[in-house]
């Protein structure tokens, strides 16, 4: 085990070097439901599906019809319809005016909410032609004029933490984070608040709304004081210059399971419907979370009374009464949009759910198909060309959707075991052959594994599966499975004491981050070979001293790259030993994933986009800069590249963002083989081999082919040109023992890679 006491980090300024700024060219069409807003005149339901806006025609609530979709880069917090203009507030993306009559929701105008820190369009309200925008620091005013668009109005007001706004007559109410303060302003004097109020039970004010019947009563949706404690709802009365709490109630969550967070509400005649995120109570349908239905018509003289409740699902963020119908629409994180009949006393009286999508975890591209794992929605597959804005965006984009049967709708990772078998992170294995032939995938069998990272390995005992798993607060492990043994247990498990997402596999070699024990502080990059169904440690090297863990590892040829937080580094690897080549420090970066491709290191920066480094010079040569749609622990999750260099960046809120390619030397998509037409008539035998193997394939017209052989590090060890027969025998006497990959090419037509084990 090698240690490095002093490691010199190259400090990197992103302005030091010439670089290419990359642009978004496409995006997947949905995310977890976060916002709903119903317009009774048009009978349209506006849904914030993560960062995508979906518009439904709800003329028949039992048969909703999607009219339009539009992607943004910020989480959609609020929408307001005024005539034929739809105003949209999107975190970090700003405020939009959209043509609601356009089937593409064409943009009329956009106002970017810029500034230092975590600011964005967190809430808006409309008074006449003026929008009030809470940006988590202050409240801005925008005047909207048809034909002109937005004009900023000075001055800004309600400085420091303004998160939500509401208006009524001459009054503007502002809710603040993290102080939990409510301020009331007169629109004619925005310098000094008329009144303010604070309660220690509220840390974050999530939403404000005036009473339907009394302009001086204000409802306050209060966030929790900590993650799983009670969340509070208050009714305030403005009496002169005093804000007085006239009544309140609270809801509770379950530690390590459900967060109580009163986020939003809607009301009719002061009957209130409260979105509590995941408040649970055994008397109200636990473990389902509930929406309290409150009679507040007696305020301020009388108390509020809970008269009913609804169970629309789990983790609901927003509600909207569908006036003119008996339904309440609920944005449910895991289930999409739920419609509950509020005229009955049945909490589960719900129409079929409308799927929108889920929080995005990981993506992989194969052929012309992008596969995306979602938390709360399962696994979706998209035709990549249909996701491009230039091609009409989102037309018939989704071609497959799989739910994880064992673990609800959660798919955090997936792996293709071969051309027809697909493994989900909960152990479900699907046979894709029926789908490739025009039918539906079939559940094949179940593996006894749960993993956050899955990787194929090709070993001396055959194909194996390396699984990284994590039980929060208990164990971070790496296990070995036979992927074709239903219900098989782990063949070998070792402790990592480090993020199991840092695992990557090349052939029979596993690269990963590890500590030496649960109490250890030093993080090592390690390499192990899989031999006889065991992990045999080859080498370790101490990572830069200020790394508290390792998020990601990538391997190309004889280079291994790592990333965590503000540090990336890369090492040479000769099959038995690591040598540090370079390390870079960028205080503005938070590396969550890394990909090595053609001598460039692509870094998914958790909160800011993608950075691209030339590993020869160590310089920043390209970037895609965009703040993610939410703050805190959420952000960009994962990064992958297509064969032609297109970049796919997974965003927890925004799905997968397609970014133009940086490396113009990589190939094009023109000759890709889609997953349902993969060549199958290629044989390699014997396999394993000790002295020779034969490659056999269909070549009835005696076309020239090239056979290339690569070792497990991706290094080409042999190439045979002008192969015109249907069989080619290759001597392996000079090959070292290990895994090799055979590639068959005819011009630009690249067949799938076959694997062979040399003993």
Q: Which of 121, 122, 137, 38 lies closest to 80, judged by CA?
A: 38
- CA distance linking residue 328 with residue 529, whole number of Å: 57
- 274 found inside a domain: yes
CA-wise closest residue to 447 among 430, 463, 468, 470: 430
Last residue of some domain: 293, 315, 344?
344
Residue 576, both tokens? 């038995």
CATH number of domain containing 605: 2.130.10.10
User: Do 371 and 337 sit in the same domain of this protein?
Assistant: no
Would 435 be classed as within a structural domain?
Answer: yes
Residue 193 tokens, joined? 């608040």
Nearest to 131 by CA among 68, 180, 89: 89
Residue 381: C-alpha distances to residues 154, 373, 647, 661, 752 (Å): 47, 9, 17, 21, 20
* DSSP structure class, residue 433: H
Length of the chain: 759
Query: Is the Cβ–Cβ distance between 698 and 671 less than 8 Å?
Result: no
Phi–psi pair at 646, nearest 5 degrees? -60, 140
- Residue 718: its H or E element: strand 716-723
What pLDDT is stored for residue 195 in this prediction?
97
- Tally Cβ neighbours within 10 Å of residue 39: 19
Cα–Cα distance for residue pair 714/509, rounded to 1 Å: 12
Domain boundary among 629, 659, 689: 659
Do 404 and 481 belong to one domain?
yes
Name the nearest CA neighbour of 223 among 231, 214, 212.
Answer: 231
Which residue ranges of the chain lie beneath pLDDT 70? 1-18, 226-228, 256, 394-396, 404-409, 472-473, 545-546, 631-633, 667-681, 712-714, 747-753
**Residues 229 and 372 both lie in one domain:** no
Domain final position from 289, 317, 344: 344
Residues 717 and 629 in one domain: no
Q: Is residue 139 part of a domain?
A: no
For residue 105, give the nearest of 56, 150, 59 by alpha carbon. 56
Plot region of 146 (φ>0 → left; ψ -120 to 50 → alpha; else → beta):
beta
What contacts 705, CB < 8 A, 6 or more positions away? 697, 699, 723, 724, 744, 745, 746
Side-chain half-sphere exposure of 537, counting CA atoms within 13 A: 15
Mark whether 233 and 311 lie in a shared domain.
yes
Please report, for residues 271, 362, 532, 612, the alpha-carbon distance to residue 513 in angstroms, rounded to integers and kept in the order given. 54, 20, 22, 22
Residue 158 in any domain: the answer is no
Distance CA 248, CA 304 (A): 8
Tell me the helix, strand and coil percentages in the chain, rounded to 5.
5, 55, 45
543 DSSP assignment = P
Q: Are residues 634 and 709 in the same domain?
A: no
Six-digit token pair at 54? 């979906």
pLDDT of residue 671: 33
- Is the residue at 99 inside a domain? no
Give the other-Cβ count within 10 Å of 51's Cβ: 30
Name 279's Cβ contacts closer than 8 Å, sequence gap at least 6.
231, 251, 252, 253, 258, 260, 261, 262, 289, 290
The verdict on 644 and 514 lying in the same domain is yes
- How many Cα atoms occupy the beta-carbon half-sphere of 654 within 13 Å? 33
Render 360-390 in DSSP notation, one character per residue: EEEEEEETTEEEEEEETTEEEEEEGGGGBGG
Task: Note whether residue 537 is domain-resident.
Answer: yes
d(CA 465, CA 688): 18
Total number of domains constituting the chain? 3
Please tell me whether residues 490 and 634 are part of one structural domain: yes
Percent of the chain whose predicted confidence (pLDDT) is above 90: 60
Residue 476 is assigned to a structural domain of this protein: yes
**Spatial contact of 365 and 640, defined as CB atoms under 8 Å apart:** yes
**Position 182 in a domain:** no
Same domain assignment for residues 299 and 389: no
**Beta-carbon contacts of residue 180 (< 8 Å; ≥ 6 apart):** 198, 199, 200, 202, 203, 204, 205, 222, 223
Asked if residue 606 and residue 704 are part of one domain, the reply reads no
β strands within 93-129, DSSP E: 94-99, 107-111, 123-127
- Residue 534: give the domain boundaries: 358-659
Residues 325 and 373 occupy one common structural domain: no
CB burial string 618-656: b at 16+ within 10 A, e below? bbbbbbbebbbbbbeebbbbbbbbbbebbbbbbbbbbbb
User: Do 502 and 599 sit in the same domain of this protein?
Assistant: yes
Tokens of 225: 């004081």
pLDDT at 723: 86
- Domain of residue 721, CATH code: 2.60.40.10
């Amino acid at each position: 085990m090698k240690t490095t006491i002093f490691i010199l980090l190259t400090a990197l300024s992103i302005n030091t070097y010439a670089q290419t700024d990359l642009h978004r060219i496409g995006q997947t069409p949905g995310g977890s439901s976060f916002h709903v807003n119903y317009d009774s005149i048009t009978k349209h339901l506006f849904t914030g599906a993560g960062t995508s806006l979906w518009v439904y025609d709800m003329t028949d609530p039992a048969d909703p019809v999607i009219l339009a979709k539009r992607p943004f880069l910020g989480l959609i917090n609020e929408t307001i319809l005024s005539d034929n203009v739809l105003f949209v507030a999107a975190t970090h993306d700003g405020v939009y005016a959209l043509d609601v009559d356009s089937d593409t929701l064409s943009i009329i105008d956009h106002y970017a909410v810029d500034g230092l820190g975590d600011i964005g369009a967190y809430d808006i309200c409309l008074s006449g032609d003026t929008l009030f925008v809470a940006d988590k620091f202050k409240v801005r005013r925008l005047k909207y004029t048809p034909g002109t668009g937005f004009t900023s109005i000075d001055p800004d007001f309600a400085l420091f933490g303004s998160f939500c706004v509401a208006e009524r007559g001459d009054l503007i109410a502002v809710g603040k984070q993290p102080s939990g303060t409510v301020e009331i302003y007169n629109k004619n004097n925005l310098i000094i608040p008329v009144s303010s109020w604070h309660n220690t039970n509220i840390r974050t004010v999530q939403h404000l709304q005036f009473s339907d019947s009394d302009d001086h009563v204000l409802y306050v949706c209060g966030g929790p004081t900590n993650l799983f404690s009670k969340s509070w709802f208050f009714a305030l009365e403005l009496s002169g210059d005093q804000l007085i709490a006239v009544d309140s109630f609270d809801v509770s969550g379950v530690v390590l399971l459900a967060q109580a967070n009163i986020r939003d509400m809607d009301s009719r005649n002061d009957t209130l419907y409260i979105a509590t995120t995941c408040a649970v109570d055994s008397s109200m349908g636990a473990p389902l979370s509930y929406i309290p239905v409150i009679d507040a018509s007696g305020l301020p003289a009388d108390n509020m009374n809970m008269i009913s409740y609804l169970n629309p699902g789990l983790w609901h963020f927003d509600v909207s009464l569908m006036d003119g119908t008996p339904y309440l629409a609920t944005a449910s994180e895991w289930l999409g949009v739920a419609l509950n009949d509020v005229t009955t006393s049945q909490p589960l009286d719900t129409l079929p759910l409308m799927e929108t999508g889920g929080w995005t975890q990981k993506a992989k591209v194969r052929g012309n198909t992008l596969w995306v794992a979602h938390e709360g929605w399962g696994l979706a597959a998209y035709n990549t060309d249909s996701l491009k804005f230039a091609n009409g965006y989102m037309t018939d984009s989704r071609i497959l959707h799989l739910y994880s049967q064992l673990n609800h709708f959660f798919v955090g990772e997936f792996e293709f075991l071969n051309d027809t078998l697909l493994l989900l992170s909960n152990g479900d294995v699907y046979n894709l052959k029926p789908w490739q032939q025009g039918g539906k995938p079939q559940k094949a069998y179940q593996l006894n594994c749960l993993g956050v990272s899955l990787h194929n390995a090709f070993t001396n005992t055959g194909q194996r599966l390396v699984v990284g798993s994590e039980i929060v607060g208990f164990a971070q492990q790496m296990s070995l499975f036979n992927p074709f043994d239903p219900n098989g247990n782990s063949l070998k498990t070792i402790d990592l004491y480090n993020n199991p997402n840092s695992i990557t596999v090349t052939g029979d070699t596993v690269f990963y981050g590890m500590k030496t024990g649960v109490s250890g502080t030093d993080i090592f990059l390690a390499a192990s070979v899989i031999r006889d169904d065991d992990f045999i440690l080859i080498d370790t090297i101490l990572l830069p001293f200020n790394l508290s863990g390792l998020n990601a590892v990538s391997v190309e040829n004889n280079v291994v790259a790592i990333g965590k937080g503000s540090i990336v580094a890369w090492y040479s690897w000769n099959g038995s030993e690591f040598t540090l080549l370079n390390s870079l420090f960028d205080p503005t970066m938070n590396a969550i994933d890394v990909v090595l491709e053609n001598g460039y290191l692509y870094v998914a920066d958790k909160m800011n986009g993608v950075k691209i480094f030339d590993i020869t010079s160590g310089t920043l040569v390209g970037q895609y800069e965009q703040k993610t749609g939410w703050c805190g622990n959420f952000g960009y999750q994962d990064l992958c590249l297509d064969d032609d260099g297109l970049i796919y960046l997974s965003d927890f809120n925004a799905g997968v963002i397609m970014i133009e390619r940086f490396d113009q030397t990589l190939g094009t998509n023109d000759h890709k083989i889609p997953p349902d037409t993969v060549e199958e008539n290629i044989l390699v035998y014997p396999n394993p081999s000790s002295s020779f193997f034969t490659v056999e394939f269909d070549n009835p017209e005696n076309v020239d082919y090239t056979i290339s052989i690569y070792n497990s590090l991706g290094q080409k060890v042999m190439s045979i040109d002008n192969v015109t027969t249907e069989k080619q025998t290759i001597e392996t006497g000079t090959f070292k023992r290990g895994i090799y990959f055979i590639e068959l090419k005819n011009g630009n037509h690249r067949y799938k890679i076959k694997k062979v084990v040399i003993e």
